[in-house]
Structure 1
Amino acid sequence: MTDTIEGFDPYMTAILANRVDGIIREMTNTLLRAARSGVINSARDFSCSICTGDNQLLASAEGLPIHIFGSHMQARTMTENAGATLREGDCYLHNDPYSGNSHAGDHAFLVPVFVDGEHMFTTVAKAHQADIGNSLPTTYMAGARDQYEEGALIFPAVKIQSNYEMVDDVVRMCRSRIRVPDQWYGDFLAGIGSARIGERRLKELCDKYGKATIKAFIQHWMTYAEQRMVAAIKTLPAVRLHNSGNHDPFGTLLPDGIPLQVSLTIDPDTGYIDVDLRDNGDTVACGFNQSEACAGASVMAGIFNSIDADVPRNSGSFSRIRLHIRKGSVCGGAVFPSSCSLATTNVSDRMVNIVQAAFAQIGDGWGLAEGGVGMGAGCAVVSGRDPRLGDSPFVNQLFLTNSGGPASAMADGWVTYGLPVAAGLMYRDSVEIDELKHPMDVQYVRLIPGTGGAGRFRGAPSMETGYISRCTRMEAIWPCDGTHFPAKGARGGLPGASAEHRLVRLDGTIEPLPNIVVLTLKEGEMVEGRHAAGGGYGHPHERDPRRVLHDVLEGWETLERAGSIYGVSLSGRIDDDSLALDVAGTAERRGRTAA
């Protein structure tokens, strides 16, 4: 395959590709260790990538899919805005969802890297912020009717450093608006430092191997990625796939939710996949609209989840996917001032699911079930004043719990999946660190047996948490999906459990909570929340009975579900280690059900 690439050196290409990934990992470690807010240094809600001087995504290593697939769009905005004024020593801040960014809550730091006076690369460090100056103390404004009501400061590739010196005007703007400015400024410096580390290492790489060698590598790596993508598409049948789903209702704004659909046309002869999102509805008067970057990222993630895992993720492979979006659509067609506050999560999570589940229509062994969706109480943005620190303000997003991962044709769902847009690449918070950073007591974080979607391979179960406020007034805000429409199974697999939340008052009364919440907790009150589980793949009666026994013994499944859903008969007791598989009873039970 690679013999058609003129001058291709597979050894040098492999060496340099890994060197570039190593640079991105050093950028990642810099941001992880230097940032101040828990959403970055604990949950790892950030991504680093490298683009070429002509605005192609070169590499992303371990970046979150929802972040990195739009990096080249942000780099293009920077170069177009700066034009001939782009200089070495510049750094730009970009969080504009209407010109290439994901949503306003993600601050991206872009550094143009010059080698011998030529703009060769752009390093990108994108990090979700604890606070961005919204009208409510959250970066997820579900109820915002437009960008004005959302209230975030927007920076469409604004210069924040010139000749390596800070542009203090921008810093003063942010400090005057953001709720905990010192925490933000620490994250701001960490983002710049990460991008600058990438700049330094890329210059060293060019010095070692020579500019000509690096230019040849860029061309070869992009071409190789494109050819690998073509080869992956050629293994697929020529087919047109259609799939649909639905985002949860949202009060009176969206009483029936948001219906979503996607059509994919796979053409193995030409090596292209066309993805059509144009039949989706118009933008909605709240924060669930997808930015163009998030629409592309969610579709790409669903496709890459379903094909050869070794295809490089860069602009070379992306060039074989043609995305069709309608301007003014909720799926990627949002234009100012439509709010894209939740563009990185809710609708995007659903679109990842819909795309990867569409591939399961090809036949057994293809695609995945749907993964659990929704950022509930375990991922709330909490804020208030900490009595332990002189009543000083705090604000941060928790990541105590995860949604359950989807089952595939080969494996059970991933417990620490997080969300479809994150694909297991984020971290879950340390309970002890969260309690140190915020005035709260975490009562439990646990998995719930029997909640994962049953199947030949089962979805990962639900995770739930409960925490108590230890300050006079704590605000907890979350925009949870997956309470009304759970993650679907594929090819006979069953859906996972839905999410649910409740408030425990001081007198012990329990109050059910809606899916999308702006809540004020009094001291001593507790929030309890269960996140959604992943869907199963294949019929539950196709699961190896020995695996069902193991699931019951390990607490993944319940005795009741082993019989009623999986058709497996067990003898003995679980509490005295005598539980065993009844082979004959299982065969009879499954045969009777099949008949």
Structure 2
Amino acid sequence: MTTERSAPPARGGARDGDGGAVRDGAGLAVLAHRFEAIVRRMSNTLARSGRSGVLNTARDFSCCVLTAEGGVLMTGQSPPIHVMGGPDLQARSLLEFHPELRAGDAFLHNSPYHGNTHAADHSILVPVVDDAGVHRFTVLAKAHQADCGNSVPTTYMASARDVYEEGALIFPVVRVQEDYTDRADILRMCEMRIRVPHQWRGDYLAILGSARIGEQSLLRLAEEVGWDALDSFAHDWLDYGESRMAAAIAGLPAGETTVTTRHDPFPGVPDGVPISAKVAVDPARGMIDIDLRDNPDCVPSGLNLSEASSRTAALIGVFNSIDHTVPHNQGSFRRVRVHLRENCVVGIPRHPVSCSVATTNLANRLGNIVQRAFADLGDGIGMAEVGTGMSPSEAVVSGVDRRGGGAEPFVNQIFTGTNGGAAGPFNDGWLTMDDLGSGGTLLLDSVEIDELKQPLVIHERRLARDTEGAGRMRGAPGLTVEYGPVGGDLEAVYANDGSVHPMSGARGGLAGARSAQQLRHRDGHLSDLDICGPVRVAEGERLVARTSGGGGYGPPDTRDPWAVALDVREGWISMDRARRIYRVVLDDAGAVDTAETDRIRAPFARASDSGYDPADPARDPSVGPGECPGPAPTEDTP
């Protein structure tokens, strides 16, 4: 079955008396900032009251306000994989399953088959209901869990052949509060299945508290300005988003292109997963079409994307390629049609397909090829590919904490090292981008806090030199992280990618370095690990992770020589790489030797990178067009 999924236009309710436009630009901006403040208040509540490190340290959560019909109205500084193409689907399921909504209701929703991203993202939806019982808005708070009841202690179970083997508790929009009172039977179900129940209970209260803060803030705002004004604002704000998006598309080159990639081999997919995206831009109509239907069927693995993740990953690639000031709301989403089909690995899965890893691996691959497609359409737009993979540096770690003579179970996802960001047409990659779905919003863990919360020691965390995707604008390098347990064994579950197929550059830029995962044994020697955990690490042993680098944009030998010299001084790249890849010669003091640089660049000079030919026989044969620098880390790796 082939299905085209696009969000319905989410409209507000009443307008002013004459039915026309009700708000001038200043008034629209004022109320937009008031709604933004509500979302920030929700986010601050969740950050300050979350119990697990994945929330209060890394901040893997999101908050947003939806219209009564379910359109995304206002989002905050949230991982984009959470808040673009999914909240409206979740709200539609809310209205389908619970057509009668009352003040005091709250619903737990984590079902990837009913609009959620994946089972580890627990969402609380709260309807905002006025004194007359009319449903006016919905607030949503979503938070990734340290444990969601999977059959093994991880929230990313890549090896799961189906949802039964995955084992997560699934809540398809289940009422967990009525009249502002918990339904204790539902909460007991969670506590019986989750490994550290008091930690989950604290996180549940943080998510619920965040949503209630949003509800009460909207009720107070309505008391101040009236429901009619808020309805009019919602209508106008979405129309404003649509008009801004249409204008942004009008400035793009017309064209159509298909870009492909392949996920690394994984359990259930020994040859990896090839995917493609057909991107068509119609500036005259102000529309973008992304066709994902020509892709493999769902696979016996946790890699399958949920419908929410498929749509969102495509949208992220679009928004990374256009004017960044365009609002991320249902109005701007109307101008992008994402074509999906059922039973597709990047489409619409059906129960019991597992979507355990739906927010990371294939979602990153999908969004990356969409933004690279825009780069193919013209210089000055699009991006290279962001580093990908759930490296051991971002593993879910678990075990028993025996420090101080105790025996307390622990489970948490750590964020000790992130992937490198992609280069764009005008900027180098962001060092702590992490991956495309998080968009740089997640925080890198404090070494001291991680060591305090879990029985482990982080022995090293550093930039991995010469791992960037070289280009006119370079991608960010990966990081090297090494850690091990204290006082007993530790289990680490990860689901990496990019160890076989690196992240590509754009418009002549080179790929970033491959990721790597190794175990350092007690005698110090290193052995390679599978790309997908779990792995048991004994006391005295260490996990060694090198995250993937981001791709470069434009030919490396068109990079500003002084920028190359600065990268060498800062330790991002070596002098040898500066000369061999960027064709920049530095003297013993690290300054650019202008004459020698001009001499070795002269044979490769071109008017612009639009004429770049990676097969040009005049290029240095030691540097292939898809070169992926950086071997697996060893004792001698700089």
TM range (shorter): over 0.9
Q: What is the root-mean-square deviation in Å for CA atoms of aligned residues?
A: 1.1
Any idea what the Cα deviations from partners look like across 1:454-498, whole Å, max 9, x if unmatched?
110100011110001113221101000111111101001000001
The secondary structure found in structure 1 opposite 2:214 is helix
Any idea what the Cα deviations from partners look like across 1:491-543, whole Å, max 9, x if unmatched?
01000001001101223332111211110111121000000000000001100
Q: How does 1:95-106 map to 2 (within 5 A)?
A: 95-106=110-121
Hey, what's the Cα distance between the residues in 2 that align with 1:174 and 1:426? 26
Task: Kindly indicate whether residue 51 of structure 2 is the aligned counterpart of residue 40 of structure 1.
Answer: no
The secondary structure found in structure 2 opposite 1:515 is coil
Task: Kindly indicate whether residue 205 of structure 2 is the aligned counterpart of residue 189 of structure 1.
Answer: yes
Q: Residue in 1 aligned with 2:23? A: 8
Pick from 594, 598, 613: which aligns with 1:583?
594
How many correspondences in the alignment?
Answer: 585
The Cα of 1:593 is off from its aligned counterpart by 4.8
Hey, what's the Cα distance between the residues in 1 that align with 2:392 and 2:413? 10
Q: Residue in 1 aligned with 2:173? A: 157
Pick from 533, 539, 561: which aligns with 1:545?
561
Pick from 265, 272, 281: which aligns with 2:280?
265
Pick from 307, 326, 332: which aligns with 1:317?
332
Q: Residue in 1 aligned with 2:311? A: 296
Q: How does 1:137-216 map to 2 (within 5 A)?
A: 137-216=153-232
Q: Residue in 2 aligned with 1:403? A: 419
The secondary structure found in structure 1 opposite 2:99 is helix
Q: Residue in 2 aligned with 1:442? A: 458
Q: Residue in 2 aligned with 1:237? A: 253
The Cα of 1:17 is off from its aligned counterpart by 0.6
Hey, what's the Cα distance between the residues in 1 that align with 2:303 and 2:120? 13
Contact 1:102 1:294 in 2 (8 A): yes
Q: Matched residues, percent identical?
A: 49
Q: How does 1:74-153 map to 2 (within 5 A)?
A: 74-84=90-100, 86-116=101-131, 117-153=133-169
Contact 1:476 1:519 in 2 (8 A): yes
Any idea what the Cα deviations from partners look like across 1:373-425, whole Å, max 9, x if unmatched?
01111100000000015111000001011100000000100001011111101
Opposite residue 110 of structure 1, the aligned amino acid is L
Hey, what's the Cα distance between the residues in 2 that align with 1:346 and 1:74? 22
Contact 2:293 2:347 in 1 (8 A): no
TM-score, L = length of structure 2:
0.91
Contact 1:493 1:535 in 2 (8 A): yes
Contact 2:256 2:377 in 1 (8 A): no
Q: Residue in 1 aligned with 2:371? A: 356
Q: Residue in 1 aligned with 2:271? A: 256
The Cα of 1:7 is off from its aligned counterpart by 2.8
Pick from 506, 511, 527: which aligns with 1:511?
527
TM-score, L = length of structure 1:
0.97
The Cα of 1:177 is off from its aligned counterpart by 0.4
Opposite residue 595 of structure 2, the aligned amino acid is A
Opposite residue 227 of structure 2, the aligned amino acid is K
Pick from 491, 511, 516: which aligns with 1:495?
511
Hey, what's the Cα distance between the residues in 1 that align with 2:516 and 2:226? 57
Contact 1:385 1:471 in 2 (8 A): no
Contact 1:5 1:223 in 2 (8 A): no
Distance change (3 Å), C-alpha of 1:547 and 1:387: same
Pick from 313, 328, 339: which aligns with 2:343?
328
Any idea what the Cα deviations from partners look like across 1:6-30, whole Å, max 9, x if unmatched?
2332111100011101100010000
Contact 2:253 2:378 in 1 (8 A): no
Unaligned runs of 5+ in 1: 573-577
Larger displacement relative to structure 2 (132-141 or 109-118): 109-118
The secondary structure found in structure 2 opposite 1:571 is coil
Opposite residue 68 of structure 2, the aligned amino acid is G
Hey, what's the Cα distance between the residues in 2 that align with 1:215 and 1:360? 39
The Cα of 1:238 is off from its aligned counterpart by 2.2
Unaligned runs of 5+ in 2: 1-18, 606-617, 619-638
Hey, what's the Cα distance between the residues in 1 that align with 2:298 and 2:377? 31
The secondary structure found in structure 2 opposite 1:475 is strand
Q: How does 1:350-389 map to 2 (within 5 A)?
A: 350-388=365-403
Pick from 483, 487, 504: which aligns with 2:499?
483
Q: Residue in 2 aligned with 1:20? A: 35
Hey, what's the Cα distance between the residues in 2 that align with 1:80 and 1:200? 24
Hey, what's the Cα distance between the residues in 1 that align with 2:77 and 2:130? 26
Q: Residue in 2 aligned with 1:575? A: none
Hey, what's the Cα distance between the residues in 1 that align with 2:518 and 2:451? 21
Contact 1:471 1:522 in 2 (8 A): no
Any idea what the Cα deviations from partners look like across 1:130-153, whole Å, max 9, x if unmatched?
001100000111110000000000
Any idea what the Cα deviations from partners look like across 1:151-197, whole Å, max 9, x if unmatched?
00000000000000000001100010000000000000000000000
Opposite residue 283 of structure 1, the aligned amino acid is C
The Cα of 1:83 is off from its aligned counterpart by 1.2
Q: Residue in 2 aligned with 1:528? A: 544
Q: Residue in 2 aligned with 1:344? A: 359
The secondary structure found in structure 2 opposite 1:581 is coil
